[in-house]
């Protein structure tokens, strides 16, 4: 893959009714209504990367911070929903 400019505007998880920023070490985010009545996440980190390798490193770091809990069917089930916006 060629080097490129990538802006990651969000990488967060929703687990057990809690939203965490996976780019900020799993920090808990506050959900708020803005003046337009839309839900926003206060303190969400926005990053830029200039290479595919840097992007993949950030994605990998976020995946390592995801919550994993074993289930009867899968010992490494993530049990969370991760969202990545590029």
pLDDT in tens, the chain (86 residues): 555 666 776 788 788 788 888 888 888 888 888 899 888 888 777 888 888 888 888 888 888 878 777 666 666 665 677 777 88
Q: Which of 47, 53, 54 is nearest to 84 (CA)?
A: 47
Count CA within 13 A, CB hemisphere, residue 8. Answer: 24
Length of the chain: 86
Supply the pLDDT for residue 4: 62
**DSSP alpha helices (H): ranges in the chain?**
52-65
Beta-strand ranges (E) seen in 1-55 are 6-8, 10-15, 18-21, 27-28, 30-33, 39-42, 47-49
Supply the pLDDT for residue 44: 77
């Amino acid at each position: 893959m060629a080097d490129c400019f990538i802006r990651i505007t969000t990488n967060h998880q929703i687990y057990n009714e809690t939203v965490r920023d996976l780019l900020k070490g799993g920090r808990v985010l506050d959900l708020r209504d803005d003046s337009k009545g839309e839900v926003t996440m206060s303190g969400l980190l926005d990053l830029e990367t200039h290479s595919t390798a840097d992007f993949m490193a950030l994605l990998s770091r976020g995946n390592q911070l995801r919550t994993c809990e074993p289930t009867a069917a899968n010992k490494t089930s993530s049990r969370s929903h991760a969202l990545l916006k590029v």
